[in-house]
Structure formats: C-alpha cells, structure tokens
C-alpha cells in the first residue's frame, strides 16, 4: 500500500521548487493533492503533469498572506473534501534587504506576511478540518531560522518564528491527534535561489554554487525532491510518534561551529566534492 493512500494533502507554494517536488511525491504515494499558489498558470502545469503520471491533483489560486483568500480556500476544501489529512505550509518568499537600519519596512512586512503569517492563516483555517480525524501539519522552516544570514533579517525572523510556531501548534493539538513538525532546508536548487544569487549559467550563480561545495559538508546544494521525501516521512504514519520537531535537511551546515579548517585547507577540502 502507498504511504499516503486515501489521504487528502494540501501543499502551498506548490507551483515551483520544494512545493512542486512534494506535490509529485505525495501524488506518487497515493494522496489526493490539493495544490495552492498565487501562480495559477504554473500550478495548472503541475496538476497536468501529476494527472498524466496517474496521480490525483487539483489547483487553487490562493494568497496565503491574505485572510479572506485563505478563508475562502478553506471553505471550498471543506465543501469538496470535508476533512484534510495533511497540510504542508511551504509557501514563502525571500530577498536580501540590507542591514537592519537600511532594511525596507515594506520588504520586512512582505516576508513576514507570506512566510510567517501565511503559515498561521493556513493552519488556523485548515486545522478545523483535521479535528475529527487527526492529521499531520508540516511547516517549511529553514536553516536561516536557526542561524542568521547577512542582510536578510526579515527572512531570519520569519523562519525562526515558524520553527517556534510549529512547537506551539504541536502542543495545542497533540490531544486531537494532529502532529505538527517543521523542516529546515539548507540551500536547495530552486527558482528562489536563482532569483537570489543567479542561475547556474550566470557568473554570480556559478560562484555561489562553487562556494557551497566547501561550505556544505555534503559538498553540494540540495535537490527539491530530497526535501519532498522528508515531508513525506512527516506526512505519513511512519512518523506517528513525532510532533513538535524540526528536521534539519541542510547537508550538514548547522553541524559545525566555524569553518576554520575548511578555510585554511580549502583546496584539499574542495577536492572531496569534485
């Protein structure tokens, strides 16, 4: 039997990156995948791909930062499915903003609204559809929620908030049979990374990926499907006694305190990644 057979799973930010990969993985494992994103055209493409591969999927245009949009979506889901088994709060945005005193207030508000408030709103309006039968909520945190990045205080604040919000929600609903966990990805090959640092074909993007070969102990960026399989574990009954946890899937970056020897002996260290 497939691991998500007969389960209804909502995935936000499902048009690209980790969300898209998770939609495919969940569908392969038998879930009815309910895909939400602001990019409806790209979302429809993902739905068609899933259906062509024999899976079940439906697309909804949703702005997770907007209360009315999320509430209307939840009402539609209740009417169509009555209950929900899995919610993956994956939608998020990121952008460098400069030092705190230079950081644009509108950018800080936007990142908090989509990443943190969006996670709250989706949880608030979808949890009632889990209360009778239980379920699993997975929130997309980040290694940037555990440690800080230069010029990205808004993203750090949002992701740190998501990780602790996960714990609070897990405590609130444990006795209702609702498990709540988060994933903290490292740097993953997604369109968001291309926007932040450039694609593989661009000079800056190439330099960024080359640097990650020695910064990351596993010697590479992660693949979206690798994050999707972590989400699958948390969505499935394989993690039935896991709640309030954060799984770091960062290639080992947060496992060390400082990259001293890697910097001093970087030629030798980098050889192991080639």
CA distance 94 to 154: 8
Query: Does the domain spanning 8-189+223-256 belong to CATH 3.40.50.720?
Result: yes
Tokens of 256: 């060390």
- Report yes or no: 35 and 46 within 8 Å, Cβ to Cβ: yes
- Which of 221, 211, 112 minimizes the C-alpha distance to 159? 112
Q: Classify strands 56-61 and 32-37 as parallel, antiparallel or unpaired.
A: parallel
CA distance 57 to 42: 14
Over the stretch 31-74, which tens digit does the pLDDT of each residue have?
999 999 999 999 999 999 999 999 999 999 999 999 999 999 99
How confident is the prediction along the chain (274 residues), in pLDDT tens digits per residue?
899 999 999 999 999 999 999 999 999 999 999 999 999 999 999 999 999 999 999 999 999 999 999 999 999 999 999 999 999 999 999 998 999 999 999 999 999 999 999 999 999 999 999 999 999 999 999 999 999 999 999 999 999 999 999 999 999 999 999 999 999 999 999 887 887 777 778 887 888 888 887 889 998 899 999 999 999 999 999 999 999 999 999 999 999 987 777 777 767 766 665 6
Q: Each residue of 140-178: b (16+ CB within 10 Å) or e?
A: bbbbbbbeeeeebbbbbbbbbbbbebbbebbeebeeeeb
- Report yes or no: 82 and 76 within 8 Å, Cβ to Cβ: no
**pTM of the entire predicted model:** 0.94
Domain ranges for the chain, please list them: 8-189+223-256
- Report yes or no: 68 and 75 within 8 Å, Cβ to Cβ: no
CA distance 33 to 50: 9
| 81, 155, 173, 256: the active-site residue | 155
Q: Which residue carries 């062509």 as its tokens?
A: 52
Give 113's DSSP letter. I
Q: 155 an active-site residue? A: yes
């Amino acid at each position: 039997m497939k691991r998500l057979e007969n389960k209804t799973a909502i995935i936000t930010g499902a048009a690209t990156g980790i969300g898209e990969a998770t939609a495919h993985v969940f569908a392969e494992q038998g879930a009815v995948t309910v895909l939400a994103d602001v990019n409806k055209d790209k979302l429809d493409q993902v739905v068609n791909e899933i259906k062509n591969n024999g899976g079940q999927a439906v697309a909804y245009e949703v702005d997770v930062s907007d209360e009315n949009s999320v509430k209307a979506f939840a009402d539609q889901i209740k009417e169509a499915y009555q209950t929900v088994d899995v919610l993956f709060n994956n939608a998020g945005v990121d952008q460098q903003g400069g030092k705190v005193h230079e950081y644009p207030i509108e950018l800080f508000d936007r990142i908090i609204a989509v990443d943190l408030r969006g996670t709250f709103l989706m949880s608030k309006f979808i949890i009632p559809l889990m209360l009778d039968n239980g379920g699993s909520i997975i929130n997309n945190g980040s290694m940037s929620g555990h440690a800080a990045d230069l010029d990205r205080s808004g993203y750090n604040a949002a992701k740190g908030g998501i990780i602790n919000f996960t714990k609070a929600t897990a405590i609130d609903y444990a006795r209702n049979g609702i498990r709540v966990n988060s994933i903290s990805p490292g740097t993953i090959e997604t369109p968001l990374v291309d926007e932040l640092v450039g694609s593989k074909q661009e000079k800056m993007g190439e330099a960024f990926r080359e640097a990650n070969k020695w910064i990351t102990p596993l010697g590479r960026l992660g693949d979206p499907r690798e994050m999707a399989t972590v989400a699958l574990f948390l969505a499935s009954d394989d993690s039935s006694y896991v709640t309030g946890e954060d799984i770091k899937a960062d290639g080992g970056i947060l496992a060390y305190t400082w990259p001293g020897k890697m910097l001093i002996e970087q030629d030798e260290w980098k050889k192991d990644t080639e």
